[in-house]
Amino acid sequence: MTLTIQFYTMLSMAAMGLYLGAAIDTYGRFTRKRPSVNWLVICNDILFWLVQALVVFYVLLQSNNGEIRFYIFLALLCGFAAYRALFQNFYQKLLERMIIRTIQFYQLTVKLILILFINPIKYLLKVLYSLCIMVLTACLTVLLFLFKLIWNPLRWILLLLYKWTGLNKLVNKYKPILNKIKEFIQSMRKKKE
C-alpha cells in the first residue's frame, strides 16, 4: 500500500470518526424518550451499529480495498474525539434547529392542506347538502300539495261510492271477523317480543 493510499485511508477514517459521532448523537436524540429497555430497543440498537459498521467498512473498501490496520482504528478514534471536542455542541444545536424546522414545515403543510383543500371541500359539501335538502323539501312540499289537491275530491267520490254501492253494510258484516284477525296478529307479535 502506497503512502498516498495510506494518507487517504487515514483522512477517510478520521472523517468516518466524525460521522460516527454525529450518527450516535442523532440516534440518541431520536431515541431519547425510551420508556424501558425491551426487545425492540435492543433490535434497534443492534441494527444501528450494524449499519454504522457497514458504512465504515464500505468507506474503507473504497479507500484501500478493505485492508484493516491498527492505524485505521486510531484514525476512527481521533475523528470521534475531534467531533466530541470541536463539533458536538454545534451539531446538536444544528440538529435541534433542523428538527424544529422540519416540525414547523410539517405543521405548515398540514395547515395549508386544510386551508386550501379540506376546508373548501367541506364547505362545498355543506352547500351541496343544504341545496339537496332544500330541493327535496320543495319537491316533497309540491308533491304533498298535489296529493292533497287530488286526494280531497277523490276521497269524497270514494266515500259516496262506498255508501251507494252498499260496501259499508258488507264491511260492517265482516267487521267482527276482521277484528279477531287483527287481535290474533297482535297477540302473535307480543309472543315474538
Residue 74 Cα distances to 17, 41, 54, 79, 80, angstroms: 10, 30, 18, 9, 10
pTM for the full predicted model: 0.60
Per-residue pLDDT tens over the stretch 2-25: 788 888 888 999 999 999 999 999
Residue 9 and residue 15: Cα distance in Å, rounded? 10
Cell of 184: 290474533
Residue 185 has pLDDT above 90, yes or no: no
Q: Which residue has the cell 463539533?
A: 87
Taking the domains of the chain in order of start, what are their residue ranges? 3-102, 127-192
Residue 18 and residue 79: Cα distance in Å, rounded? 5
Residue 169 has pLDDT above 80, yes or no: no
Residue 127 and residue 121: Cα distance in Å, rounded? 10
Q: What are phi and psi of 68, to 5 degrees?
A: -100, 125
Residue 92 Cα distances to 29, 56, 83, 95, 134, angstroms: 9, 22, 11, 5, 60
Q: What are phi and psi of 98, to 5 degrees?
A: -65, -40
Per-residue pLDDT tens over the stretch 112-153: 999 999 999 999 999 999 999 999 999 999 999 999 888 888
